[in-house]
Structure 1
C-alpha cells in the first residue's frame, strides 16, 4: 500500500509539472526586423498596395499571439501601415524613428531601451540589413528592391550572445 501511495503522489507531481505554465523568458530580447510591405507606386511616400495590405495582415498572422514590448517604424507611411494590423490587435503604439539614422545608433538605442521582450521594427530595403547587422554583430545579406517577405529575428541573450534566424512570411516576393 505505501508503494501505491508513493506512485500516485509521484504521478500527481509529474502531472502538475506538465500543466504548469511556462515562465516567460526574461533574460533575453528578440528583435524582429522586416521591410515595409509592397507599395502602390514609386513616389516618395506612397501607401501600401493591395498586395502590401495583404502582407501586413500576413505579418500579424505570422506573429500570432506573440507579446510585443514595442514597435518601431520610420517616418514613411508604408512602414507604419505594414505594422498597423499587428499593433492594433495588441493596442500598441508605433514609435517613429528616422530612416536616415545610422544603424549602429539605432541598434544601440533599441538595446538600451529594451533589455528583454520582443520588439518589432519596420524599415526599408536599404536600411533593414544594416539594422540587423548592427543588432547581431553579424554579416547580413543585402536586400533586393523586390524582396518584401524576409523576416530577420535577432535574439540577444543575457550573456550578450546573438543569434540570427531569417525566415519568410506572407506570399513569396515576386522576382523582377
Structure 2
C-alpha cells in the first residue's frame, strides 16, 4: 500500500473516530447562524390560559426588538399563545417578517432539528415558555441549560454556530 494513501486513510479514520467520540453537533461547515431563545415577557394576571403581556412585558418585548435592531434577523418563531406572539411581534415588525407559529407541545429536539435544517445564516428569534425555552436552547447547542422558574422573564439564551460548525451558548440578561 502506498505510504501517502495509508497516511490519508489513517487521518480519515482518526477524524471519523474523533467525530464519534464528541458530543458536539455536526453542522454544515461554512454556515454561521445564531438562535436567540427567550421566554415570553411578563404576562398579566387574570386569563390563566392565554393572558396578554403587562405594560412591563410590552416594554421588555420592545427592548428585545431594539437589542436585535443591528442584526440580520431572518426569522421569528413563537407559539400560538398571545403572550409569546406579543413578545415576538416587535422584532418581527422591525425586520419586516411574519411570526412563524410552532406547536408549544412539539418535542424540543424536533423543533431544534427543524430550525437547524431551515436556517443556515442570520439570526433567528425563538420565543417560548419557562418550561420550553431552556430545553429548546439545550437541544440547539447539545449542552446543558439551567431550567427556568415560573417567575423568571429576564434570560436570553444565544446559541451561535460559527462558519466551522462550532457552537457557543451565551446566557445573558434580557433587556428591559
1:151 counterpart residue number: 156
For normalisation by structure 2, the TM-score amounts to 0.79
For 2:163 and 2:94, the matched residues in 1 are separated by 29
User: 1:69 aligns to what SS in structure 2?
Assistant: strand
User: 1:155 aligns to what SS in structure 2?
Assistant: strand
For 1:46 and 1:87, the matched residues in 2 are separated by 20
Q: Which has the higher contact order (CA 8 A, sep 6+)?
A: 2
Which of 53, 72, 77 is the equivalent residue of 1:67?
Answer: 72
1:121-145 residue CA offsets vs partner (Å, 9 max, x unmatched) = 0000000111000000000001111
User: 1:110 aligns to what SS in structure 2?
Assistant: helix
Give yes or no for the alignment of 1:131 onto 2:136: yes
2:56 counterpart residue number: 51
Moved >4 Å (runs of 4+): none
Cα root mean square deviation, aligned: 1.3
Give yes or no for the alignment of 1:36 onto 2:40: yes
1:9 counterpart residue number: none
Give yes or no for the alignment of 1:102 onto 2:125: no
1:59-113 residue CA offsets vs partner (Å, 9 max, x unmatched) = 1121122121100000101101001111111111000000010000000000000
For 2:62 and 2:164, the matched residues in 1 are separated by 35
**Aligned positions, number:** 146
Which runs of 5 or more residues in structure 2 are unaligned? 1-29
| Deviation, structure 1 residue 27 | 2.7
2:91 counterpart residue number: 86
2:24 counterpart residue number: none
User: 1:167 aligns to what SS in structure 2?
Assistant: strand
